[in-house]
Amino acid sequence: MKPLALLERLARTLNSLSEWTGRVIAWLTLCMVLITFGIVVLRYGFGIGSIAAQESVTFLHALVFLLGAAYTLKHDGHVRVDIFYRDYSPRRQASIDLFGALFLLTPVCVFILLSSLDYVSAAWELREGSRETAGLPGVYLLKTAIPVMAVLMLLQGLAQAARAVLILAGGTVSAEEPAPREL
């Protein structure tokens, strides 16, 4: 298999992972809405409160943001100040994307990954739960999403870098790859 074909296949596979993860995680937003609706109805309609239910909304919110970050990166949904970028040629944009993936995204993700391991490990050792008596017991599971987010972002960054290399090498980018976003 040719190196460019292998690179395109890698990019496609990693993009598929981000797409699948994002679509699965998106369902958590529906869960958040339904639980929040239930909390409001129970509290104001029946005078019943639940700390665990309120914490579950917070947990879901954190999971959506942490585990949905790679999906957002794939769809170019992160904040970008592209005053100059949008006017550049696709090759120059690819150069900037490659630089950003290798020298900005990768170091930040590696830092988050490495610095979170002790934090998550300590939470697992304690089987950390909520500080509230009636809260949720699985805080350590939620904290595990931090290094998972870093890994998912690294993988999506690798897909972005592969896409940039393909463009710079004059290769074709498959139709499923989003074109750079125009504002």
Residue 96: its pLDDT value, please? Answer: 93
Output the six-digit token pair for 7: 């690179």
pLDDT at position 94 over 90: yes
Q: How far apart are CA 9 and CA 105, in angstroms?
A: 22
* pTM of the complete model beyond 0.85: yes
Which residues have C-beta within 8 Å of that of residue 51, sequence separation ≥ 6? 130, 132, 133, 134, 135
Provide the terminal-to-terminal Cα distance of the chain, rounded to the nearest Å. 37
Residue-wise pLDDT for 8-25, tens only, equals 999 999 999 999 999 999
